[in-house]
Every structure is written in C-alpha cells, then in structure tokens.
Amino acid sequence: TGGSLDAKNLKVKLVLLGDSGVGKSCIVLRFVRGQFDPTSKVTVGASFLSQTIALQDSTTVKFEIWDTAGQERYAALAPLYYRGAAVAVIVYDLTSPESFTKAQYWVKELQKHGSPDIVMALVGNKADLLDRREVPAQEGMEYAEKNGMFYIETSAKTADNINQLFEEIAKRLPRPES
Ligand code: GDP
Ligand code: MG
C-alpha cells in the first residue's frame, strides 16, 4: 500500500479529505512550507506536494500529499483520488458541526473503499478559534477511538500540532520487514 522504499526510508501517499473550507490546504502549506496565508485561495490541486520527515530512530518518511482542487464541494471524490493511499487525514473545522458530520461520512467511505491497512487520522482544525468551538474535543476523540483512528486538534494558523500530526502518522505506519 502506498509504496515504500525500504525498511528505513518509507514513501507513502497521503490524502486529505473533508468539507470544503475546513483548512486542508492550509494544513498542507503549513506543514510543507511553514506558511499560513489567510487571503490566498490555495489550490494545491492537480500536482502533489511532498515533504520528508526524520524520526528519532533515524528512519525517514516521505509523504506524497494529495490535496483536492476543491472537488469535495461538488460530488463524491473519485475513489481514484484515495486509491493506494497509505494515509488518510480526515479534517473537520471544530467550529462547524456540519463539517464533523461530513468527516464521519469520509471515514465510512474509506472503511468501505480504502486500503485495508490504511492509517487514518481525524483532525479537528481551527483550534485557535476556541471561543467559537461547537464540536467538543470529547466527541472527536470518542469517534476516532471507536473507528481505530487517532485524533488531534490543530491550527494551521498558529501551527499548533501541525508537525505533531505528521509525526504521529509516521509512527503508526506499518513497517516493511527488513
Ligand atoms: P480547504 O477547502 O479545506 O482546503 O480549506 P482552506 O485551507 O482553503 O481554508 C479555508 C479557510 O479557512 C481559509 O480562509 C483559511 O484562511 C481558513 N483557515 C484554515 N485553517 C485555519 C486555522 O487553523 N485557523 C483559522 N482561524 N482559520 C483557518
Ligand atoms: Mg483546499
């Protein structure tokens, strides 16, 4: 699944899923470029971005990150998009209950059609807007636990937990036998 180089250096396909506007593209740009631009209409789009991280055990993980060009707005994303993905990052906006409902739809979709050994993360983004929170952390956490995912709250705006998100994913990846 997702392609790997060898036991010490993994290469994995990572897809982002979630409602339009929850901050998927901003999470990617924060992680890959260290930037947050609230005004730009970010469309990573057709091509993907990649970023390599080194873990403490001196292994590396190269993420090939697929972001949508906004197709999530119109219809069910083609299974082509997540085919072969080793990782799915499912994002909602913790100020938007609708986006949390949509995230659950994506989880079910991936459970039905994704790779059986896919690593899934549930991300409550916009954690800098705590005074506008509408989805309690407990709800996200419980849903994630029930579905064998890990849960994290992030802010692409402040960079809070962005690197941690990808590090946690890297640690959970199945390792090929060396
Ligand atoms: P996408 O449609 O899921 O890719 O969402 P975008 O990355 O394009 O972000 C949608 C809007 O949410 C933009 O106006 C961003 O500036 C804003 N946004 C994204 N992440 C955050 C965040 O962590 N905090 C806040 N306050 N706004 C965010
Ligand atoms: Mg986007």
Pocket of ligand 1 (CB under 6 A): 18, 20-26, 38, 42, 125-126, 128-129, 155-157
For residue 52, how far is its CA from the centre of ligand 2 (angstroms)? 21
- Nearest C-alpha to atom 27 of ligand 1 is from which residue? 126
- Nearest C-alpha to atom 25 of ligand 1 is from which residue? 126
Neighbours of 48 (CB within 10 A): 15
pLDDT in tens, 76-85: 667 888 889 9
For residue 45, how far is its CA from the centre of ligand 2 (angstroms)? 8
pLDDT in tens, 12-32: 999 999 999 999 999 999 999
Question: Residue 3 has what pLDDT?
Answer: 67
pLDDT in tens, 116-134: 999 999 999 999 999 999 9
Nearest-ligand number for the alpha carbon of 24:
1
Question: Residue 170 has what pLDDT?
Answer: 96
Question: Residue 65 has what pLDDT?
Answer: 94
What one-character DSSP code corresponds to residue 73? G
pLDDT in tens, 37-48: 877 665 555 457
Degrees, nearest 5: CA angle 111-116-122: 50
Nearest-angstrom CA–CA distance, 154 and 161: 5
What residues flank ion ligand 2 with Cβ within 5 A? 24-25
pLDDT in tens, 149-172: 999 999 999 999 999 999 999 999
Question: Residue 46 has what pLDDT?
Answer: 46
Nearest-angstrom CA–CA distance, 27 and 16: 10
CA terminus-to-terminus distance, the chain = 16
Q: What are phi and psi of 119, to 5 degrees?
A: -95, 125
Interface confidence (ipTM) of the complex: 0.99
Question: Residue 57 has what pLDDT?
Answer: 86
Q: What are phi and psi of 67, to 5 degrees?
A: -110, 150
